[in-house]
Chains A and B, each alone.
Chain A
């Protein structure tokens, strides 16, 4: 299917399906965030998953040195 066909056949139905699917995904991802923060301070596992962040900048030098990651929140 070419670009012009794709433009011509994109209708409300496809749009609604994308919207509904993304809406459910958004609700689910936000639930994960809430679960993470509600565990914060009680369980160190809270910081795993969506909330896990690097302590330091991701730097190519770190990878060369074999550390792989700049450090994790624990």
Chain B
């Protein structure tokens, strides 16, 4: 039945995508982030939706001239992404043999950067930026709303695991956390009251779904988000009250085992799970020290021969005493150490440069918007929310393998797109010389 409904909607989506390249572009991003096929169980489950919608976008670009489209051009963010991707390609080529996910992860990164490369061409005005934010919010918060509703219906006993694509509960929680700032932006800036409260309700459901993941890292993320909102918000007291109410609601609704698990954050230094992570970081750094330029290849750490080879090799964190972990297939458990082991120290530098570039772009947006007029308040607020998405990614990602998730790369390019839009809008007409 669900497959028939999907088929029906697809018949409506395709003409719209062919009519407007931007509609096709939104479909492309939405299908990838929502992972449509994971919710289908029949004849529509096997369709590669992202690829189909990417092809539709390209077809539409060739067939029709989009009046609001700009020609392809290189910008600073795309340059950094291109260098990072080229470095990833070299790392994948020179990787240790038989890495299970080497080319798969490189392919995912390439697809994400390809998607980002089209963004400055198609997302060219405020309406399109707004539509892009709605697309991201709808695609990711679908999972959050779903698990939030299940959490309420089960009176807190539902254990959110997400879909296979997102990885484990911690990685899933990070993805959910990253969409909350976008939902808050849409709550603030949507014009119709029912749309506003639709996004507001989704914020609450997504917070509950984060709780339902039982991820301790996500609790730290929620705390980070709360601090940011209070610091940046215009109604600091109101923000504090709302956060306190939400905290009371969550602790009352969550089952006892959740509260017990969250209390173990205080004993991180005695926690076997945390010490296992430190061991994985040591091995990742050992790989990077042996291969500083191109690393060991994507997910080298999870290869049995690579782990055994570097298990006792000197790394960067040898001053921390950890037990020798004699099992294989261990994840890196940190975006920084993941990139370090996979792509070497040079790869890590490029990854950090990408993130630094995003915050430089954020500063540029602030300057352009303040030099402009009050009509650019939206750009300041949106750039702030996109920056907090990246802060959450860096904070929570420090304990997770999430270096190649689509969302942070899309957010980085969205910041670039906002900056380009403001530059066009704030450019002063040149006065004729007399």
Contacts and interface: CB of A to CB of B under 8 A. Distances in A.
Nearest to B31: A30
A65 interface: no
A38 B23 contact: yes
Given A29-B138, A37-B22, A41-B68, A6 B5 contact: no
B12 interface: yes
Nearest to B198: A29
Contacts of B377: 56-57
Interface in A48-64: 49-58
A18 B26 contact: no
A69 B378 contact: no
B188 A57 contact: yes
B149 interface: yes
B47 interface: no
Interface in A17-40: 18-20, 22-24, 26-31, 33-38, 40
Which one of A20, A27, A55 has the highest number of Cβ atoms from chain B below 10 Å of its Cβ? A27
A14 B153 contact: yes
Contact of B20 (A6, A38, A50, A55): A38
Nearest to B196: A58
Given A18-B150, A52-B192, A72-B191, A10 B158 contact: yes
B142 A26 contact: yes
B138 A51 contact: no
Contacts, number: 132
B188 A7 contact: no
B156 A7 contact: yes
B30 interface: yes
B259 to A, nearest CB: 14
Nearest to B255: A7
Contact of B375 (A19, A22, A52, A56): A56
B16 A26 contact: no
Contact of B134 (A26, A50, A57): A50
A14 B146 CA distance: 12
Contacts of A52: 190-192, 195
B374 A33 contact: no
A71 B117 CA distance: 32
A74 B45 CA distance: 40
Given A37-B128, A56-B378, A50 B195 contact: yes
A46 B34 CA distance: 24
A6 B153 CA distance: 7
Nearest to B127: A40
Q: Is the interface of B mostly helix, strand, loop or mixed?
A: helix
Contacts of A51: 127, 130-131, 134
B124 to A, nearest CB: 11
B157 interface: yes
Nearest to B155: A6
Contacts of B378: 53-57
Given A53-B191, A55-B375, A57-B188, A34 B154 contact: no
Nearest to A17: B153
B176 interface: no
Contacts of B157: 7, 10
A45 interface: no
Nearest to A6: B155
A34 B17 contact: yes
Contacts of A67: none
Chain A CB within 10 Å — which of B135, B153, B158 has the most? Answer: B153
A24 B375 CA distance: 36
Nearest to B142: A26
A52 B195 CA distance: 9
B186 to A, nearest CB: 9
A4 B139 CA distance: 33
B5 A34 contact: no
Nearest to B146: A22
Contacts of B319: none
29 contacts: A3-B155, A7-B255, A10-B155, A18-B153, A19-B146, A22-B146, A23-B2, A28-B9, A33-B26, A34-B27, A37-B23, A37-B127, A38-B20, A40-B22, A40-B68, A40-B127, A41-B67, A46-B127, A50-B190, A52-B190, A52-B195, A53-B127, A53-B189, A54-B188, A54-B190, A56-B374, A56-B375, A57-B381, A69-B191
3 shortest interchain CB distances as A-B pairs:
A10-B154, A6-B155, A52-B191
Given A7-B255, A55-B378, A57-B381, 19 more contacts: A7-B157, A10-B150, A10-B157, A18-B150, A23-B2, A26-B34, A26-B142, A28-B9, A30-B138, A33-B26, A34-B13, A38-B23, A40-B68, A40-B127, A41-B68, A46-B127, A47-B127, A51-B131, A57-B188
